[in-house]
Amino acid sequence: MTPTDYIQLKAFARSDGFWLALLWIASFAFYLLGLATPTLSLVALLLAFATPILVWKRLKHFRDYGLEGNISFLRAWAYVIMSFFYGSVLFAIAQFCYFNFLDQGYLLAMYAKMMELPENAEVIKQAGMQQMVDDALNSLGSLRPIDLSLNLLTTHLMMGVVMGLPIAGLLQRKASVNS
């Protein structure tokens, strides 16, 4: 890969990482709204499941528009990883801003409220998991906004590495040799 090819790869990955971050931000927003209104949780789930579809379409666009229809497996995989990297960084910044300035304990309170629902409390009690649930809520409550954001950043980066393998494998296309 030449330096020009690398610059092109980064440019496409940056712009497509932006769209990926917007998708994740929308999914996260609907997840938070879905804690109070369960119907919106379905929207959050659908948006999250749209991640590979968006990456697929954007990689296909990069291959067809930017590379005239040809892309190697490694370049396709690098594109997916870099798109996830840029998207993950933007999403982590958005999450940090949410947890640091807006959340004010809302997420933790909603989790605690869910654990206290009669049907959940009974299952937790019967399974003998009350102490574990309390410890998990305390651990979550002790995390700083930067800790939460970095944890989710790492998760999204690893997801990109793994998800990139089948996507790159399916969208790779070698240059056809005309004789």
Residue 83 lies in a domain: yes
Q: pLDDT band at 83, cuts 50/70/90?
A: very high
| pLDDT over 90 (residue 174) | no
Is residue 155 domain-resident?
A: yes
Query: Is 34 a residue whose pLDDT tops 90?
Result: yes
- The verdict on residue 176 lying in a domain is no
> Is residue 152 in a domain?
yes
In this predicted structure, the answer to whether residue 175 has a pLDDT above a threshold of 90 is no
Query: Which pLDDT score, from 0 to 100, does residue 178 have?
Result: 54
Question: Considering the domain boundaries, does residue 107 fall inside one?
Answer: yes
User: Quick check: is 162 in a domain?
Assistant: yes
**pLDDT confidence tier of residue 179, bands split at 50, 70 and 90:** very low
- Render 7-24 in DSSP notation, one character per residue: HHHHHHHHHHHHHHHHHH
Closest to 86 measured CA to CA, from 150, 149, 15, 27? 15
Per the structure, how many domains does the chain have?
1
**38-63: per-residue pLDDT in tens?**
899 999 999 999 999 999 999 999 99
Crossing angle between the packed helical segments 106-116 and 130-142, to the nearest 10 degrees: 170
> What mean pLDDT is reported for the chain?
93
Residue 173 to residue 144: CA distance in whole angstroms: 45
**What's phi and psi for 172, nearest 5 deg?**
-65, 145
Question: Residue 104 has what pLDDT?
Answer: 92
Tens-place pLDDT, residues 60-71? 999 999 999 999
Q: How far is CA 68 from the centre of its chain?
A: 29
pLDDT for residue 119: 87
Q: Residue 122 domain-assigned?
A: yes
Closest to 170 in 3D by CA, of 65, 83, 52:
52
- Residue 179 included in any domain: no
For residue 134, the enclosing domain spans: 3-171
**CA nearest to 24, candidates 92, 82, 79:** 92
Share of the chain above pLDDT 70, in %: 97
